[in-house]
Amino acid sequence: MKKLALLIAIASICFGCGQNAPKNQEADMNNPVIETIMARRSIRHYTDQPVPREMLQKIAECGVNAPNAMNRQQWEVRIIDSPDYFDGLTKVLDGTAPFLSSDGDPKYRNCLRNATAAIAVACPDDESGMCLVNVGLLCENICLAAKSFGLGSIVMAGPVWYMEGNPDAKPFVDRLGFSEGYRLRIIVGLGYPDEDPEARPRDLGKIKFVD
């Protein structure tokens, strides 16, 4: 009798697992993390609404919680939300490149795609290239955290190139206060989006299983 009861119990558990597996799998494919990843877009137009500092701090904390080689955390992060900084940098870089120009854009406010906040990330040079990989991982966390707060984001290398190459922009690089040996690599613009772009096609053929 006990054996029969045990067999019934095992059968019930197995049947229950079989019934629940597809539902659990479906739930996993529609969780908030996946939805955020799929919904995130690069935003190039922002409103003038400022982003609260508490939100920017939390986004930066999400950034530094990214995986990184041997947990050495060889990055430095600076949050920029000063209108004075944006205005001054824009005066220096305005017109140095088509995407850094006010010409023809009635909504143009600054050279960082009109973002009201930005996060600048630096890392040292290293032969392995892992520091740059780490910075990329950090920036992805920033972008996804921003999306989860209802913000837009844009990852920008162009302004960095011109900041590094323009002597007039050096004071703005210096204001970031990075440690010796650390170099500005990327800037992520943040703000409340003023557009809702459609997703661009992704080539899923790039994904292949290895047999």
For residue 112, give the nearest of 149, 75, 82 by alpha carbon.
82
The amino acid sitting at 162 is: Y
Of the listed ranges 67-71, 96-100, 122-126, 159-163, the least confidently predicted one is 96-100
How many other CB atoms are found less than 10 A from the CB of residue 98?
9
Domains of the chain, residue spans: 41-191
Cα torsion through 68, 74, 78, 79, rounded to 10: 10
**In whole angstroms, how far apart are CA 101 and each of 42, 56, 91, 97, 171?**
19, 27, 10, 6, 20
* Three-state SS letters, 54-75: HHHHHHHHHHHCCCCHHHCCCC
* Right CATH for 41-191 from 3.20.20.80, 3.40.109.10, 3.10.20.30, 3.40.50.970: 3.40.109.10
Of the listed ranges 91-95, 146-150, 198-202, the least confidently predicted one is 91-95
pLDDT of residue 188: 98
What is the percent of the chain where pLDDT is above 70? 86
Instruction: Judge whether residue 142 has pLDDT over 80.
Output: yes
Give the pLDDT mean for 129-145: 98
The amino acid sitting at 82 is: S
Of the listed ranges 24-28, 40-44, 190-194, the least confidently predicted one is 24-28
Q: What is the pTM of this model?
A: 0.85
State pLDDT tens for residues 89-109: 999 998 888 778 887 778 888
Query: Which pair of tokens denotes residue 104?
Result: 């023809």
Q: How confident is the model at residue 69 (pLDDT cuts 50, 70, 90)?
A: very high
How many other CB atoms are found less than 10 A from the CB of residue 22?
9
pLDDT of residue 11: 38
